[in-house]
Structure 1
Amino acid sequence: MSEHAPTAIRPFRLDIPQAALDDLAVRLDATRWPDGPTAPGWTQGVPPAYLKELAAYWRTTYDWREHEAHLNRFPQFMTTIDGADVHFLHIRSPEAEAEAEARALPLLITHGWPGSVVEFLDVIGPLTDPRSFGGAPADAFDLVIPSIPGYGLSGPTTDAGWDVHRVAGAWAELMRRLGYQRYGAQGGDWGHAITLELAAVAPGQVVAIHLNTLLTLPPDDPAVAAELTADDWARLDRLLASEPEMSGYAKIQGTRPQTLAYALTDSPVGQLAWIVEKFKEWTDSTHVPEDAVSRDRLLTNVMLYWLTATAGSSARHYWEAAHAAGAARTERPATPTGVAVFAADAARPVRRLAERDHHIVHWSELPRGGHFAAMEQPDLFTADVRTFFRRFR
């Protein structure tokens, strides 16, 4: 925990010690590789040939200093909220001081697991400075992009209880400290749950929310089920069919995160495999994750977990969700909600079901992209966010 004043916002600049990079190189060189699978492709997990080649690229070609400098192009800060250090990017729009009708709208964007602030690097420019990217100045945003406590540059959490509700409360306090009394919020993966909760804990400040993840489950009511179309059922069936095999990581992280942490914190190749598998399964990729995201951007995301030793604390987020102190909210939120459904996301929601539980005022079906939408399809992501928030400025 920081020794600064409790509410201080202090500038932050990435400067990883060279000793940490040298240690990574030694560990990569000393990797003890397991035997191979007995089933083809990705059936039993990440294929050894692919991972060995990716690890060699990480060791010999990937340049952390280049990507560290890229991250440092954006203003970054740290503050301490509820006992935890919170890292965040805060990029004010050039339109921030414009006339009222064109003034930038503050927008808080939240990542999930195994993501990070790296997911949003390609949308920062278009969202904050649309004038320079072929857009309308009236679509500008001030962006606040925090690292969830326990993830990456926010560092490991040191106490229990960092569930979705507590993170949402921290986000409300962060925006208050920054002087924003009226703002929008956006999120995917855990970020979507945090964004929904933020709308509930700060309804007077959150004007609208935009989600690129939203889970809808098969209805218990036969009358509701009868209203669903064949496409609706295809989405639900895909979710149910994939859940047993695809949810193993969540079961481990939700029950024994500490045991997992020893392996991932000690072995960079272990951390790499644990994350890269999700980028293969959850993105709009065919053969390898690089079909959907660049290799260097993927490795930069992995580096934020490795360099900060946050494999365990980020995994604990799942344990906290499974052991949350309070009951889940059941009331239908009043906050206007927009949903962007990217075609390759395994958990595509059903609009009829979403509208029972949320105040849906915008729904987009996008032709490409998967779970890491802003990283995979920054142009589609940017356009949908702009379109949705125009009515709330």
Structure 2
Amino acid sequence: MTAKPFQISVSDDVLNDLRTRLARTLFTAASDTTYWAAGTDPGYLRELVTYWADGFDWRAAETALNAYPHHIAEIAGQQVHFVHLRGRGAEGAPPPLPLILTHGWPSSFVEMLRVAELLADPAGHGGDPADAFDVVIPSLPGFLYSELPQGPFTRRGVAETWHTLMTEALGYPRFGAFGGDIGGGVTQWLGSLYPGEVAGVHVTSAVITTDFREQPPTAEEEAYLEALSAYDATDQGYSEIMCTRPDTIAAALADSPAGLVAWIIDKYRDWSDCGGDLETRWDKDTLLTVATLYWATGTIGSSFRQYYNYPQNRPVPTITVPSAVTLSNEPAYANIPRSLTERLCTDLRHWSTPERGGHFMAHEEPEQVANELRAFFRPLRSGS
């Protein structure tokens, strides 16, 4: 099992077709006079689409992405794309600790690139070379250049694929894991399934059990779960359709780049720590780099598979490896009691609530995430 070098290359025909579609976009009127109250604001969308059609330089973005070392590995008949940054450790010191970073939805490997640079080369960014990591950033199955599995998309299944990628394709006998959202679930499963190989797990979306049969929730936990349910009632429209009718919405988004980017940026605004102002966190070039990757690969529909297959996920078993949480400041997690995570993580060594950075924390606050990861994994490098 070997990994082969890979380069991102979008054809001129795809880009020309994209610009033609963007130029012919039919825009809707706002349903509410309050800015963004009913979803992606049509005025902002028009501005973004206009720039995408005649201003955004995809070739410059493509060149920047290809400056990173991309690879493709075939695992159990499934193509897996990943970026692999070798750590620059101290001369004569133990080798860098391998670390796999897993993104969520509607994200991509792009979310992890800046933090990966900081982790792989700490000395180059004012840090200690002893903190260097070998960083692996895979694309989730069905996202961009990674293929869907033959069976259902489950977080456990992805964890099994990542374990094979790390231990067999890349030859790492021991590694750490980090992620948020779907990536957090995958990271949890890695820690639960492979305590012999996984040095520790670090997540930004806290672990929540669904089994309260033996120990009912405390009053504090019950209050949080009720608040989460109330929040979901206002936010979950997007997930309801992707869980039940993914092919219907995918047909629209695969045919309309304006619809595609509207679907994505609605979540970038809602879930990031931007205070309602999207461009305080995301410039247009960043948003359109992600959108162009989804468009060029035709994978917005396959990225929904993990929603459609969600009922086939099972509760994460007890996690015994050292665990850490740097809590996202998005509404779904900002006030979660630590005790909910302690129900599943028997060795919770690090709990941090920086109150900065939302759903895409590694992208929003890369320095913060790098510092948290260094601090958590520092005593775990030698296997203690």
Q: Normalising by structure 2, report the TM-score.
A: 0.92
**Structure 1 outlier segments of 4+, above 6 Å:** 217-223
1:186 aligns to 2:186 (yes or no)? no
The change in CA–CA distance for 1:158 and 1:205 in structure 2 (over 3 A counts) is closer
Tell me which amino acid in the other structure corresponds to 2:287: L
The change in CA–CA distance for 1:283 and 1:268 in structure 2 (over 3 A counts) is same
Distance 1:163 1:47 in 2: 33
1:253 aligns to 2:247 (yes or no)? no
Shift of 1:158: 6.8
Q: Secondary structure at the match of 1:371?
A: coil
Shift of 1:306: 1.0
Q: Secondary structure at the match of 2:309?
A: helix
* Corresponding residue number in structure 1 for 2:81: 87
1:65 aligns to 2:59 (yes or no)? yes
1:163 aligns to 2:154 (yes or no)? yes
1:10 aligns to 2:4 (yes or no)? yes
* Corresponding residue number in structure 1 for 2:315: 328
- On the 8 A contact 1:344/1:368 being kept in 2, the answer is no
* Corresponding residue number in structure 2 for 1:352: 339
Distance 1:94 1:284 in 2: 31
The change in CA–CA distance for 1:188 and 1:158 in structure 2 (over 3 A counts) is closer
* Corresponding residue number in structure 2 for 1:78: 72
- On the 8 A contact 1:284/1:291 being kept in 2, the answer is no
Percent identity, aligned pairs only, is: 39
Q: Secondary structure at the match of 2:79?
A: strand
Shift of 1:39: 4.7
Shift of 1:222: 9.0
1:19 aligned to 9, 13, 38, which one? 13
Q: How does 1:17-56 map to 2 (within 5 A)?
A: 17-56=11-50
- On the 8 A contact 1:293/1:375 being kept in 2, the answer is no
Q: How does 1:262-281 map to 2 (within 5 A)?
A: 262-281=251-270
Tell me which amino acid in the other structure corresponds to 1:371: H
1:370-391 per-residue CA deviation (whole Å, 9 max, x = no partner) reads: 1100111111111111111111
Note the residue ranges of structure 1 that are not aligned, 5 or more in a row: 1-6
- On the 8 A contact 2:90/2:129 being kept in 1, the answer is no
Shift of 1:238: 4.1
Tell me which amino acid in the other structure corresponds to 1:254: C
- On the 8 A contact 2:327/2:333 being kept in 1, the answer is no
- On the 8 A contact 2:192/2:318 being kept in 1, the answer is no
- On the 8 A contact 2:102/2:183 being kept in 1, the answer is yes
Shift of 1:96: 7.8
Q: Secondary structure at the match of 1:93?
A: coil
Instruction: Tell me which moved more, 287-296 or 81-90.
Output: 287-296
1:167-189 per-residue CA deviation (whole Å, 9 max, x = no partner) reads: 11110110121010000000001
Distance 2:260 2:128 in 1: 41
Instruction: Tell me which moved more, 269-278 or 238-247.
Output: 238-247
Shift of 1:345: 4.8
The change in CA–CA distance for 1:96 and 1:272 in structure 2 (over 3 A counts) is farther
1:214 aligns to 2:206 (yes or no)? yes
* Corresponding residue number in structure 2 for 1:3: none
Distance 1:296 1:258 in 2: 28
Tell me which amino acid in the other structure corresponds to 1:280: R
Note the residue ranges of structure 2 that are not aligned, 5 or more in a row: none
- On the 8 A contact 1:37/1:47 being kept in 2, the answer is no
Tell me which amino acid in the other structure corresponds to 2:143: Y
- On the 8 A contact 2:98/2:133 being kept in 1, the answer is yes
Distance 2:225 2:254 in 1: 36
Shift of 1:70: 1.1
Instruction: Tell me which moved more, 286-295 or 213-222.
Output: 213-222
Shift of 1:288: 2.9
1:391 aligned to 363, 379, 382, which one? 379
